[in-house]
Amino acid sequence: MSYGKKVLDHYENPRNVGSLDKDAPNVGTGMVGAPACGDVMKLQIKVNDDGVIEDARFKTYGCGSAIASSSLLTEWVRGKTLDEASKIKNIEIVEELSLPPVKIHCSVLAEDAIKAAIKDYNDKQSGAG
């Protein structure tokens, strides 16, 4: 299978790789997928007092398209409000990266990851407040 240019670029130069402190109250962590399915995505966001995502980090175990989807997503969510970030649809990732049909599940996983990270952050906030 041949990969699109943008997938290759993100795969070779992944943006925002890393981890944030998962115990910090202003960090939300989303971990989705399973090793048995061949992909696991961890996406973390750091949210400031205005509800804006000021940092986003990822680590992904999976194929090049899964790595690219999560890398792209960290770029997109930075500077967005939680509300804006939660509206990102997997189809936008598919279009941006020109993912073939067999790789659409990678974009779905990325959408699930940001939603899970936002939920984790909100749970922490409501628990703390």
Partner 1 sequence: MANEVKLPIYLDYSATTPVDERVAGKMMRYMKMGDVFGNPASRSHSFGWQSEKAVDEARQQVAALVNADPREIVWTSGATESDNLAIKGAAHFYGKRGKHVVTVKTEHKAVLDTCRQLEKEGFEVTYLEPQDNGLLDLDAVSQALRDDTTVLSVMHVNNEIGVIQDLTALGEIAREKGVIFHVDAAQSAGKVPIDLQRLPVDLMSFSAHKIYGPKGIGALYVRRKPRVRVEAQMHGGGHERGMRSGTLATHQIVGMGEAFDIASKEIANENERILSLRNRLWEGLNQLEEVYCNGDLEQRVAGNLNASFNFVEGESLIMSLKNIAVSSGSACTSASLEPSYVLRALGRNDELAHSSIRFSIGRYTTAAEVDYTVDLVKESVIRLRELSPLWEMYQDGVDLEKVEWATH
Burial code of 10-47, b = ≥16 C-beta within 10 A, e = fewer?
A: bbeebbbeeebeeeeebbbbbbbbeeeeebbbbbbbbb
Annotation marks residue 63 as catalytic: no
Give bridge partners of residue 60 from the DSSP assignment: 41
Using CA atoms, how far apart are residues 44 and 19, in angstroms rounded to an integer? Answer: 7
List 106, 109, 113, 117, catalytic entry: 106
Annotation marks residue 106 as catalytic: yes
In the complex, the smallest distance separating the C-beta of residue 12 from partner 1, rounded to whole angstroms, is 9
**Cβ pair 68, 7 in contact under 8 A:** yes
Query: Would you say 13 or 126 has its CB closer to partner 1?
Result: 13
Query: Would you say 39 or 96 has its CB closer to partner 1?
Result: 39
Chain positions contacting partner 1, by CB under 8 A: 1, 3, 11, 14, 17, 19, 31-42, 59-64, 66-67, 102, 105, 108-109, 112, 116
Query: Would you say 8 or 52 has its CB closer to partner 1?
Result: 8
